[in-house]
Amino acid sequence: MNKLTGYTIKMVHQAYSEKMLTPTSFIDLSLQRTKQSRDLNAFVCVTEDTAETHSIESEKRFYISKQPKVLDGVPIAMKDNFCTSNIPTTCASEMLKNFVPSYDATVYSRLRRAGACLIGKCNLDEFAMGSGTVDSIFGPTRNPWQYDKKKWRISGGSSGGSAVAVASGSCLAAIGSDTGGSTRNPAALCGVVGLKPTYGLVSRHGLIPLVNSMDVPGILARNVEDVATILNVVAGPDINDSTTIKKPFEPITLKDIDLSQVRIGIPKEYHCEGMSREVIDIWGLVADLLEQQKAQLEVVSLPYTSASIAVYSILNQCEVASNMSRYDGIEYGLRANVNSSTEELYALTRHQGFNKVVRSRILAGNYFLLTRNYVKYFIKTLKLRRLIMDDFKKVFSPDGGVDLLLTPTTLSDAPLYHEFVAKHNRDQCAFQDYCTQPANMAGIPAISIPITLSKNNLPLSLQLMGPPLSEELMLNVAKKIESLVKFPILK
Amino acid sequence: MILNIVKRTSRTSLNFIQIACRNLNSKIPVLPVPSLTNEFTSTVKIERNTIALLERLSLVSFDTDEGLNILEDSIAFADKILHIDTDNVEPLYSVLEDQTLILREDKVTQGNCQKEILKNAAVTEDDYFVAPIGNIPLHEVEVQTESTKLKQNEN
């Protein structure tokens, strides 16, 4: 019996006040849990000493100065593409295996300022390029649901380590990143809540970039309320990230809302080829539940969604080609053993440092960016990106539009590892990211909520999307759905 | 025989729709919506010159035929959206295009971190990063790899 999966931030704080638990004892339990669940390979590194130091600080604030902060004694984990000073940050790549940042990502420094205790850095697909957490130099992360040493399911990705750390009870919340669904996809497959905030609401400073125009830090927790608590701590303008939204952030509040005033759209294009019958069924089930709560449901259309995955794939590869040019072996990271010429050093370093997926995206990106292809592919996809965003603008328009959209998150429950790796990375992502990447294309917020278990006893989840900065309404409706479906806790 | 199969298939799909209609909320689409992408997959072949150019620009090599196949496959996937009409549509570079960027004051806020920065470099000399001789363009990658191997063997 794993009691840790039953805790919420509120319960832990209550227990600290009543001294049923103390920050040091609870962090110790969390660290033990990381050891018991080592087989799942959620962590790239467990920061045991750091966690203990942090928990002692929290304990002092709880019992000596009696001024605890919102996240004091709350165990958190960071995806290993967020910089943490003096703690290695690897991106699960040979290229950054020995990289130790000298500064903290804003998301991490804000969590620390609120008292959170770091228990470890989480596994991911190399440089967050994937949807399975299978392409990491530290090996794949395993889904805790129906886990069997010989026959296990993928965690989803690329923030698979963060999702598994939360699902298996090693921490109360974790930070992932979301470029095309990398937070929502593993959240969906591991049965936890995963939030992709509005682009620019949460600072990217210190998040090692994949696709600058789409990357956002994501939040994973076992319930909507904990996600909201973390969001309130990390969101808001940051002088170190010029792409954060300047408007001051108003902390969101959760309340029991009246759904009769909420209009929810069902975009018909989200029923795509290859979607499993079970996913369609739970989509209908939750639509029924919402209608019973008097929400106004209507069918809407986002015609360019079906082209979005191909557009996303081109833009992703173009930005990757440009972003990855910083890795040359001179200033940081891996340096190959060549001294004959600079270019030769660059080439061999990059050959040794990047896996096949990263290399092929760089090559494809540079192909689309060749002078002769620039307009044909790159500019074309930027135009299509506008059409995809305009679809959302229309559907959310204040006059006659809907407030939120309800769609599946993934096309099926978690695939078996050996079935998943039989496909190429591009096919894996094209299949897995279908429902999630349009939100990144448009920069809008989206949340994945676990709904029920499939016939394989694996989590099935749905997604809500809303217009920019609609996190408050979105999380309130998500909380309502959560209370109606009563998704089981992983024992 | 053939007729039988056709009959059976059509009955199955009808059953499917009936079942779907009976169980599903009426707002959920019963069948997948056809995609805007082109169903036809083009065959793409990359020329030798282009391969060499891409390797030089990317400073990574294809190393195997599989790498080349992946590229050709990526291009074929991209080609599926080229037919969609985008006349008179402006490219979207950033979803925050209607907002102004934050500009901070031009003041030094950080510094004295030379030691921390340099400690991540594999090779340094005094206060400098170290690079081998520049101005030697990367040659054909095959030749390059061979010469690298040779040098390593000599070592």
pLDDT in tens, A317-363: 999 999 999 999 999 999 999 988 999 999 999 999 999 999 999 99
Rg (CA), chain A: 21
H/E segment holding residue A266: strand A263-267
Total of domains in chain A: 1
Read off the pLDDT of each residue in A363-381 and give the average, rounded to a whole number.
Answer: 98
Measure CB to CB from residue A199 to each of B96, B133, B134 and give the nearest one.
B96
User: pLDDT confidence of B139, banded at 50, 70, 90?
Assistant: low
Q: Write down the pTM of the prediction.
A: 0.93
Measure CB to CB from residue B95 to each of A244, A343, A443 and give the nearest one.
A443
User: pLDDT confidence of A432, banded at 50, 70, 90?
Assistant: confident
* Mutation for testing the A interface, residue in B24, B26, B33 having most A CBs under 10 Å: B33
Contacts with B86 from chain A: Cβ below 8 Å: 380, 383-384, 387
Q: Chain A to chain B, count of Cβ pairs less than 8 Å apart?
A: 242
Residue located via tokens 């400098």? B128
- pLDDT, greater one: B12 or A385: A385
Residue B12 to chain A, least CA–CA distance (Å): 15
In the predicted model, is pLDDT for residue A22 greater than 50?
yes
B108 in reach of chain A (CB within 8 A): no
* Mutation for testing the A interface, residue in B74, B75, B141 having most A CBs under 10 Å: B74
Return the CATH number at A97: 3.90.1300.10
Residue A336's alpha-carbon distances to A35, A94, A341, B52, B134, in angstroms, are: 34, 11, 12, 22, 16
Calpha distance A45→A122 (Å, rounded): 7
Strand-strand pairing, A173-178 and A216-221: antiparallel
Domain extent for A61 = 3-258+470-485
Query: Considering only CA atoms, which of A167, A185, A195, A123 is closest in space to residue A7?
Result: A167
What percentage of chain A has pLDDT greater than the value 90? Answer: 96
User: pLDDT confidence of A486, banded at 50, 70, 90?
Assistant: very high
pLDDT in tens, B32-73: 988 888 878 888 899 989 999 999 999 998 877 888 999 999
Contacts with A93 from chain B: Cβ below 8 Å: none
Whole-number pLDDT of residue B34: 86
Helix axis angle for A48-63 and A23-36, nearest 10°, is 160
User: Which residues of A are known to be catalytic?
Assistant: 79, 158, 182
Kindly state whether residue A460 falls inside one of the protein's structural domains: no
B74–A317 C-beta distance less than 8 A: yes
Whole-number pLDDT of residue B62: 85
Contacts with B101 from chain A: Cβ below 8 Å: 242-243
What percentage of chain B has pLDDT greater than the value 90? Answer: 43
Asked if the bond preceding A158 is cis, omega within 30° of 0, the reply is yes
Measure CB to CB from residue B36 to each of A199, A239, A304 and give the nearest one.
A304
